[in-house]
Structure 1
């Protein structure tokens, strides 16, 4: 039994934006902005150590896959590309705020913490958007390409989501760590550890979340219109 009707390319259709795509777009934009902030904390998940930004990034994977499933690959690709807008605006605003003089009433330790979290090296600032664009577009492409092999059943969607997320997140890690840190220290162990953690999280978290959001999209949008 299919988890969703055939995808409708909402980006090319005339008329109002569907409820699900509107809500998913807002959530997607928020995740692009918060991922970099969360990444400053490393969390321990059993034997795995992973930067916390992966949770926001996996939500980007889940949302883009859900949109590809419910609204078509072209719409999902547009969502990924439009994600550069809030990402760019947030970077500009962060740079502006960092350049403004702090209030003399702000405690020095608070200012130091703020600058530590939001200040990034040029290599990291370059690595983030490149890894984001390549990996999310790759995720949509793989997820859509596997449709014929795995199908649209609940299990099929979960398999497609897990494979697409694991592969795209591995590419994301390779691009980001190489651009941001290559030459500064040996990156082999960091690459291996981050890839292992992201593949494990992709297998555990992504598939059920995609199913959940697909069902939510169906509830928000209602049944597809019957052709007459």
Structure 2
């Protein structure tokens, strides 16, 4: 057992914390600099970038604790939910829906371009490097379809819940995100890994366990940007 595997749990949450802080930090900085007009485009780019990274990270299955395993894309996907929550709370349900739809289109475009580039006939002297390039840049069709389908369903529902629930920001996020992440897991795992990964129920349980444990980080990321939202600080108590 290597030192890395021994400390896999703190490393996992350390990685997640850095991703969450980076995702929330760019929004905090834009607001701090008084560039309110940039919050929507920067937030949308932040969200789309995290989703794109999630497609590639989803194929990496990492150890968690004991028999539990988890696709590493959980980290960036969960962070993307915090950004979507922020955009929905700031700009409303209609904007949240449009951000999800545009992101779905762009994720499909990323997969299509990758597929065409990887399968384009290479120059003869380059053929030996084709396989490594495909391994680095390729996203399997199953994972791409699973990722796009899962986040359209789950994050559309997230926008609906966040915009309809009453109360402060933390209450909205705390109630909506566990539901959203459960739906994402129930859709994504069977489409992406059924028949490929043994004991798929264990994989689903592992992903749900990690996602639920990351909900406090999602709440923290949104709370850090509370002053940029349209709610009084008093409602966050």
Normalising by structure 2, report the TM-score. 0.71
**Residue in structure 1 matching 2:187, options 159, 164, 175:** 175
Please provide the CA RMSD for this pair: 2.7
Aligned residues: 194
Does 2:38 correspond to 1:19?
Answer: yes
Shift of 1:143: 1.7
Residues 69 and 214 in structure 1, CA contact (< 8 A), matched pair in contact too = no
Shift of 1:64: 1.1
Structure 2: distance between partners of 1:107 and 1:205? 45
Unaligned regions of 5+ residues in structure 1, if any? 1-16, 222-228
Shift of 1:120: 4.3
Distance 1:46 1:209, change over 3 A: farther
- 1:96-138 deviations in Å (ceiling 9; x for gaps): 2101234566594x64343234434443332221101001111
Distance 1:39 1:182, change over 3 A: closer
Shift of 1:40: 3.1
Residues 70 and 214 in structure 1, CA contact (< 8 A), matched pair in contact too = no
Structure 1: distance between partners of 2:46 and 2:71? 21
Structure 1: distance between partners of 2:89 and 2:146? 28
Residues 173 and 219 in structure 2, CA contact (< 8 A), matched pair in contact too = yes
- 1:182-222 deviations in Å (ceiling 9; x for gaps): 34544211111111111111x2310000122343x35xx9x
Normalising by structure 1, report the TM-score. 0.73
- 1:140-187 deviations in Å (ceiling 9; x for gaps): 1122222x2xx12xxxx2232133222111111111112223345442
**Residue in structure 1 matching 2:159, options 135, 140, 144:** 140
Structure 2: distance between partners of 1:49 and 1:74? 36
Bigger shift: residues 166-175 or 118-127: 118-127
Shift of 1:82: 1.2
Map of 1:25-40 to 2, 5 A cutoff?
25-40=44-59
Q: For 2:121, what is the secondary structure of its paired residue?
A: coil
Q: For 2:187, what is the secondary structure of its paired residue?
A: helix
Residues 161 and 207 in structure 1, CA contact (< 8 A), matched pair in contact too = yes
**Residue in structure 1 matching 2:96, options 76, 86, 90:** 76
Does 2:21 correspond to 1:41?
Answer: no
Structure 2: distance between partners of 1:134 and 1:49? 24
Structure 1: distance between partners of 2:100 and 2:225? 17
Does 2:218 correspond to 1:206?
Answer: yes
Structure 2: distance between partners of 1:181 and 1:27? 27
Structure 1: distance between partners of 2:225 and 2:73? 20
Structure 2: distance between partners of 1:104 and 1:213? 52
Unaligned regions of 5+ residues in structure 2, if any? 1-35, 231-237
